[in-house]
Chain A
Amino acid sequence: MTSTASHGASKEDAARAAGFMATRAVHLHVSRYCNLACRHCYSSSGPHQTGGVDPTAVNSALRVLRAEGYEVLSLSGGEPLLFAGLEEILREAHALGYRINLVSNGAPVRGRFLEWIVRYIQLTALSLDGAPETHIAVRGHPKAFTWVADAADRLAEAGACFGIAFGVSRRSLAAMPWAVDWAADRGAALVQFHPFGATGRGIEVADELGLSATDQARAYVTAELLRSPDGPTLQIDLAPVPLLLNGRHTYRLLSDTTSFTEQPLADLVNPLVIDEAGWLHPMSYGVAPPYRLGRCDATLPDAIASFKATGWRSVRHLLLRAFDALETERPLFADWFGHLVEVSLQYSPDLMASAPRSTSGRV
């Protein structure tokens, strides 16, 4: 989370901040269809998944959300390049002025998909789960590593900005230095280290891939040691807990204010997640359904108004519980957005009973 985090920022940056993100982003999970069925997939995506968002409805939502202050669109899935409605969404998002990022497993990065990347995408992140043998084992396909390597070469040749999204697990931890060298050799601009999270299909392999607290500390120290002004930008989605606790003021929902009707949604909920069924969730994929803000359809403007009027209380409640849990448990490091999911799943039943709810666009 370091490169997106604003908790250690200057006063000016802190004034602009909206939570622990430097930019206001919409994370769009277009579909759960994927050519791979990775053993650890947080969204349980795979070749047998069907459906996905309605591109027309998403484009309408993106117009609304652009006016609400969002400036970045991050696309993932499933494999987003294989979603039939992707070009329609890319074209509209680009026209609306979003900076667009995309996460891919690399397999489809060729032909017209590569042309879309060059035309519309600011940063393509290629998923990598370890050195070749580990990556292949986790991804469950013998060509999985070749696809990533070929995609990196094609992106570099096309002059497209790309990075590596490296999944740090018990099996891949030792390969972090290798990953930085590998990425640098191919001209990657970014290496993002993301710790394994036991969500989705990952629950089934948590014993094999999960990181202990000391493993997380190793990952953090390793990333610190690997930072170099000459190499790719390094980001690790683990933050020191004291830093998170000191940065809670960046969440405007935790201020003394009780009226948010005049504030853009992006100042209050960042990132905003749209799942493959079109539901809008606060801050992280997998946050429990009771925290949904609404969905991508004609009711979205009313749902946003309702959230600003009263619905914000439930998300504030979630944030307070998440910070309280860190204060109580005091781990050294935390994956903040993964932590939010865990807290939401743990506490949603009593939240349903106690927190004021709005009804528009909600379930």
Chain B
Amino acid sequence: MGKTIAKEQTRAKGNGQKNDPRAIRATLARAVASRKVSDKTIDAVAGQLAQFNLRIHDLDICPQGICGEWFLTGSQLGALEDLLQVDGGLARRVDVFPHGIPKPELFHTQVTYDFDGIPRGL
């Protein structure tokens, strides 16, 4: 989401919280709530969440940037096109696979992004 979040994440890792999903979520939440993330970015992310009623299943920092994981049901698969078009970031990879529960229309979708200001391998 930008340089500020990258700094926050670096700080979180410096506190021994490397890739702890809860720490990442909390750090991002603090950055969003304290207006350190631009209005433009927030409107874009919130627009995606609102349009498709997405639930953020998980966030992680991986060698390729920030990974956002979403659960999409059949009617929400149209969200994929939007998820691939991230302002200020590049969608690097999308994995869609059955989540392993007996609901064929439910897929576990993982979208991997690169964001400006967040170097790979962070």
Contact = CB atoms under 8 A, between A and B. Distances in A.
Interface stretch (A53-61, A137-145, A218-226, A261-269): A218-226
B101 interface: no
Given A8-B53, A230-B22, A214 B33 contact: no
Given A243-B53, A332-B47, A222 B22 contact: no
Contacts of B55: 224, 227
User: Contact residue range for chain B?
Assistant: 20 to 34
A221 B28 CA distance: 10
A219 B26 CA distance: 14
Given A8-B53, A242-B51, A242-B53, A225 B29 contact: yes
B74 to A, nearest CB: 13
Interface residues of A, number: 26
Interface in B38-62: 39, 42-43, 45-47, 49-53, 55-56, 59
Given A225-B29, A230-B22, A240 B35 contact: no
Contacts of B15: none
B32 A225 contact: yes
Nearest to A216: B46
A132 to B, nearest CB: 17
B29 A226 contact: yes
B49 A240 contact: yes
A50 B33 CA distance: 39
Contact of A176 (B25, B33, B50, B52): B33
Nearest to B28: A225
A243 B49 CA distance: 10
Contacts of B7: none
A222 B49 contact: no
A83 interface: no
A355 interface: no
A218 B50 contact: no
Contacts of A224: 49, 55-56
Nearest to B26: A177
Contact of A174 (B35, B39, B45): B35
B50 A333 contact: yes
Contacts of B42: 214, 217-218, 221
A240 B33 contact: no
Given A177-B26, A224-B55, A226-B29, A242 B50 contact: yes
Interface of B: 22, 25-26, 28-30, 32-35, 37, 39, 42-43, 45-47, 49-53, 55-56, 59
5 contacts: A177-B33, A214-B42, A221-B32, A243-B53, A333-B50
